[in-house]
Amino acid sequence: MPKTTELLRKFLIWKYKHISERQFVYILSILVGLLAGLGTVTLKNLTHYIQLLLEGNIIKDYAGFYFVFPIIGLSLVFIYQKYILKRNISHGITSALHSISRRNGIIKPFKIYAPLIAAPLTVGFGGSVGLQGPAVTVASAIGSNISQLFHINAKTRMLLIGCATAGSLAAMFKAPVAAIIFAVEIFALDLAFASLIPLLLASVSAILTSYLFLGSDSFFGFDLQDTFEIKDLIFYIILGVGTGIASIYFSKMYFYITQFFKRITNPIKKLIIGGIAIGIMLYFIPPLYGEGFDLMNDLLLGNNIRALRQTPFDADLTNIWIVIGLLIGITFFKAIAMTTTFAAGGVGGIFIPTLFMGSTIGNIVAKVINNIGLGFSVNESSFTLVGMTGLLAGVLHAPLTAIFLIAEITGGYELFLPLMIVAAISFAFTKYFVTNSIYTSELAKKGQLITHNKDSNVLMMMKIDKIIEQNFISLSPEMKLGEIVKNAVAKSSRNHFPVVNADNEFLGILRLDDIRHIMFDTELYEKITVKKLMHNAPDIIDYDNDSVPIIMKKFKYSSAWNLPVIKDGKYFGFISKSKLLTVYRRKLVEVTH
């Protein structure tokens, strides 16, 4: 270890002398892209290996019991996290955003390898989630730890995390342009020359890694042949509204089920309840098993029978309305199955389930239009693709990513206009009813959501501990004026004094201005107590719940220059507006230069 440290030190000295900072960032972005691509490829291969193992040796012999495999997978993930890893793996994109906003882009090393085991167990055994979230977890951890290894500053570290996440998306879908836009939309990176080149290098290096290990296999085995026709415009508008409604349902269902399972404190109970629920859903709706690529590809190719597979119902799949009914059921339960998989302890992502649900909605709308008996005819494959864009735009609140992703992975540039129309309508519709996406909802509630607003980002990245001052002398309500002058005013450089009880609970404040007119009147020293002089603070800062943006608002609306801080119900210190602004200016310089 000392030898490795010495080699690193010599390298950093050599780098400082021979390579500019910009050149070094370009080199690191290529390295991060390669490793992010390798992590994504490893995730995909491990998952597919488990799937092939089960399908070849187990499902073939015990096909009627396939619905128990997700429960086995979730149990293995529980054992891995509880007894081997001894910590939980948080959701990928939300975790990365939290690390950027609250930890200066510092991500623990275990997140590089932990999802590589937990996610394949979840998805490979049939959990109804995707791999993009875990791929982002792995990639962002790689970007963070490489930047730490080479002592990169906080701003560049965040750029490298964005490069890594772009690399993971590029490697997963072979869509480098969408990957760059994804990093800009979700991680609020500046689309400037300084960040654009590293993002390009990371995306290209990641996608080359994917080609090297996976060949030229595409996400969908389908190439779009049809073009947009103006007569279909009204139907795409209807699809946009439909995917908007579905996006709201998807998001609300996710929030509801997540909150329901949060009330269950015992993780084993969560596993049992969630596992049984998933097993029941999979028994009645087999297409919910796993990521769902087969269904999406079959719908694109127009193969309804293979898409829906065998169900416990004796359904006549030659009847188009039965097919539509089954697709509606699949659409309705996909969000439930996905969220239940998460809540039961599974590790995965929402990206691919969103595509899955969007494809079924687009296909449903097209089938209804074609069979309603009014003489209309639309291309079902085109609507299936555009439906994916609509739901991706609505659920992720990332319309540009949705447009370019579907256009890239299917060659669907001929559908660019309907892709834009549906994405815009779905995003606007969803945004009105669901302010923040699944990725950002919890962070937004805590005031920790990173955005393209630089002032808000700087405030959010500031840590409250850095601005709290504790060199204040506390007073008790029973203290007399003489004691105040002798033991507080004479010994303090401050003009504010917190009033607390014996349990250090905050009661109010006493300012120097409150006693200035009587502090030299010795006749009052034994007559007047703190209780008579103290008053309420203009506002109070809650250490556990108030973020720096909220603190700034409290200063604004109270017009105060000093506000007390309460932690666990006890007095903890003061924050002054001058200290807050000083730290803000320092952080602004750090983030923007």
Question: Which of 129-133, 142-146, 300-304, 503-507 is predicted with the least confidence, judged by mean pLDDT?
Answer: 300-304
Query: Tokens at residue 152, please?
Result: 């990169």
Which residue type sits at 194?
A
Quote the pLDDT of residue 357: 94
Q: How far apart are CA 516 and CA 558, in angstroms?
A: 23
Residues whose CB is less than 8 angstroms from the CB of residue 216 and which lie 6 or more positions away in sequence, other chains included: none
Rounded percentage of the chain residues whose pLDDT exceeds 70: 85
CB 202 within 8 A of CB 32: yes
In whole angstroms, give the CA distance from residue 39 to residue 132: 11
Beta bridge partners of 468: 575
Dihedral of the CA atoms 432, 436, 437, 440 (nearest 10)?
170
Strands (E), 284-357: none
Question: Per the structure block, which two tokens stand in for 213?
Answer: 């290990």
DSSP-H helix ranges across 380-498: 380-396, 399-410, 416-433, 441-445, 454-461, 481-483
Q: How far apart are the first and last CA of the chain?
A: 33
- Of 78, 86, 95, whose CA–CA distance to 266 is shortest? 78
The closest alpha carbon to 434, from 189, 237, 254, belongs to 254
Question: What are the structural domains, with CATH classification, of the chain?
Answer: 2-214 (1.10.3080.10), 230-450 (1.10.3080.10), 458-592 (3.10.580.10)
Confidence of residue 454 (pLDDT cuts 50, 70, 90): low
The pLDDT tens digits for 333-378 are: 999 999 999 888 888 888 899 999 999 999 999 999 999 988 888 9
Token digits for 181?
A: 């836009």
Dist CA 203 CA 164 (whole Å):
8
- What pLDDT, in 10s, does the model give residues 113-167? 999 999 999 998 988 888 888 999 899 899 989 988 888 887 788 888 889 999 9
* Contact between residue 315 and residue 327 where contact means Cβ atoms under 8 Å apart: no
- Phi, then psi, of 435 in degrees rounded to 5: -65, -40
Residues 531 and 500: their CA atoms lie apart, in Å, by 11
Neighbours of 351 (CB within 10 A): 28
> What is the Cα–Cα distance from 371 to 284, expressed in whole angstroms?
26
C-beta separation of 315 from 326 below 8 A: yes
Q: Are 137 and 89 in contact (CB under 8 A)?
A: yes
Q: What is the pLDDT of residue 94?
A: 72
Across-strand partners of 562?
576
- The three-class DSSP label of residue 361 is helix
Provide the strand spans (E) within 200-355. Answer: none
Encode pLDDT of 255-288 as tens digits.
Answer: 999 889 988 888 899 999 998 999 889 888 888 8
- Give me the pLDDT at residue 64, please: 57
The residue among 289, 276, 385 whose CA lies nearest residue 334 is: 289
458 closest CA partner among 294, 593, 266, 308:
593
Q: What is the pTM of this model?
A: 0.79
Strand partners, 349: 130
CA distance 483 to 474: 12
Query: Tokens 């349902």 label which residue?
Result: 249
